[in-house]
Amino acid sequence: MATLSELTVTEELTALREIAADRGWTFTVIDPLRFLLGFTSSDGSMFYLLVACDSYPVQPPAWHWCNADGTRTDQASDRPKGSGFLHQNGVVCAPWNRLAYKSVDARGPHGDWAIGDWQRNSHTSGCTTLPHMALRIYVELNSSRYHRGRLG
Amino acid sequence: MENPDKLEQIETQLEDALVGLKAAKAVEAEAEHEVEEALHELHDLKAHEILLKIATPKGLFAGIFRESATVAAVIETVVEKKDLSRKDTFELVHGETVLQPVSRTLESFGLKRKADLELVAQGSGV
């Protein structure tokens, strides 16, 4: 029987699949709780994320920067150079990314956020679904906060 | 008589080239279809109208607006049509440009005829 996480992910991926097809993003479902997404940034380079959604939506998903086929995660050469949201620690800095929590990942910039409150965190600001999170990352990769290049 | 190994090599190269050509033709046909579709859509537009394709948290929205429409009016329409939460404040983004303030018109941002935009909740980045 499908879990709550699997049902939620399946439902939300419908909208994400539609956007990805229209915008030329790469999109691959790996299993019911993981998918791979690739975006073009403002300088034309591609960035990829492996998204793990176990315990979602009780906990936020984990957005790992990775290589094109998702076999290598969290390497500096796969992470965009940026500021703020595109944090220099190499994680997406937002309450809706599990890796932003110091309690989960040592690189997480926030020891002050409670992971169980991620949907109520003021910085989440309505960004509570997978397509919304993906859109936000795409927007950031095409904004001035992306410093054109990679961390390594 | 040619060297059989060389002939085989040439045949393989030829086969590879044909596969490449086939793939290129498929890409070309797809691109032609997209252009044709876009031209068709543009043909239907009246003067001073713009076709917006907006990626939203609930999927794609496509609609025709006056170029003189305000950004606020566009956001209002999309929020209503896609049944997005009215508790959130949304912003429209075009490439590197956040379309702010929302009281400005589409044409004041240089948008004409056709544009792809993103709709995201304001402040959802840290």
Instruction: Give residue-wise pLDDT tens across range B37-89.
Output: 665 666 678 999 999 999 999 999 999 999 999 999 999 999 999 999 988 89
Q: What is the CATH number of the domain that holds A73?
A: 3.10.110
Query: Tell me, what's the ipTM?
Result: 0.92
Helix axes A130-141, A4-23, angle to 10 degrees: 40
A116 within 8 A of A103, measured Cβ to Cβ = no
A95 within 8 A of A124, measured Cβ to Cβ = yes
Report whether pLDDT(A119) > 70.
Answer: yes
What is the mean predicted confidence (pLDDT) over A63-78?
95
Would you place residue B29 in the very low, low, confident or very high pLDDT band (cuts 50, 70, 90)? low
Task: Tell me the pLDDT tens digit for each residue of A30-48.
Answer: 999 999 999 999 999 999 9
Task: Tell me the pLDDT tens digit for each residue of B106-125.
Answer: 999 999 999 999 999 987 55
Q: How far is B47 from chain A (nearest CA, A)?
A: 26
What is the fold, at CATH topology level, of the domain defined by B49-121? Ubiquitin-like (UB roll) (3.10.20)
| C-alpha pair distances (Å), B60 with each of A108, A118, B53, B55, B114 | 32, 26, 7, 5, 15
The pLDDT of residue A34 is 98
Total number of domains in chain A: 1
Would you place residue B14 in the very low, low, confident or very high pLDDT band (cuts 50, 70, 90)? confident
Q: Rounded distance, CA A148 to CA B61, Å?
A: 30
E-assigned strands of B40-79?
A: 49-56, 59-66
B101: left (phi over 0), alpha (psi -120 to 50) or beta: beta
What is the mean predicted confidence (pLDDT) over A104-119?
93
Q: Shortest CB distance from A138 goes to which of B60, B96, B118? A: B118
Would you place residue B36 in the very low, low, confident or very high pLDDT band (cuts 50, 70, 90)? low
Mutate to test the interface with B, among A122, A135, A141, A145 (most CBs of B within 10 A): A135
Q: Name which residue leads in pLDDT, B13 or B80.
A: B80
> What ranges do the domains of chain B cover?
1-44, 49-121
* Residues 76-105 in B contacting A (C-alpha not used; CB under 8 Å): 85, 87-90, 93, 95-96, 98
| Contact check, Cβ <8 Å, A125/B96 | no
Please give the mean pLDDT across all residues of chain B: 84
The pLDDT of residue A2 is 87
Choose among B125, B99, B75: nearest CA to A141.
B125
The pLDDT of residue A136 is 94
Q: Shortest CB distance from A125 goes to which of B60, B118, B121? A: B121
Residue numbers of the domain that contains A41: 4-150
Q: Shortest CB distance from B125 goes to which of A129, A136, A144? A: A136
B84 within 8 A of B120, measured Cβ to Cβ = no
With an 8 Å Cβ cutoff, is A93 touching chain B? yes
Task: Tell me the pLDDT tens digit for each residue of A86-109.
Answer: 888 889 999 999 999 999 999 999
* Residues 107-146 in A contacting B (C-alpha not used; CB under 8 Å): 122-127, 129, 131-132, 135-136, 138-140, 142-145
Q: How far is A92 from chain B (nearest CA, A)?
A: 9
| Contact check, Cβ <8 Å, B125/A85 | yes
Q: How far is A15 from chain B (nearest CA, A)?
A: 4
Q: How many other CB atoms sit within 10 Å of the CB of residue B9?
A: 11
Q: Shortest CB distance from A132 goes to which of B57, B87, B126? A: B57
A89 within 8 A of A109, measured Cβ to Cβ = yes
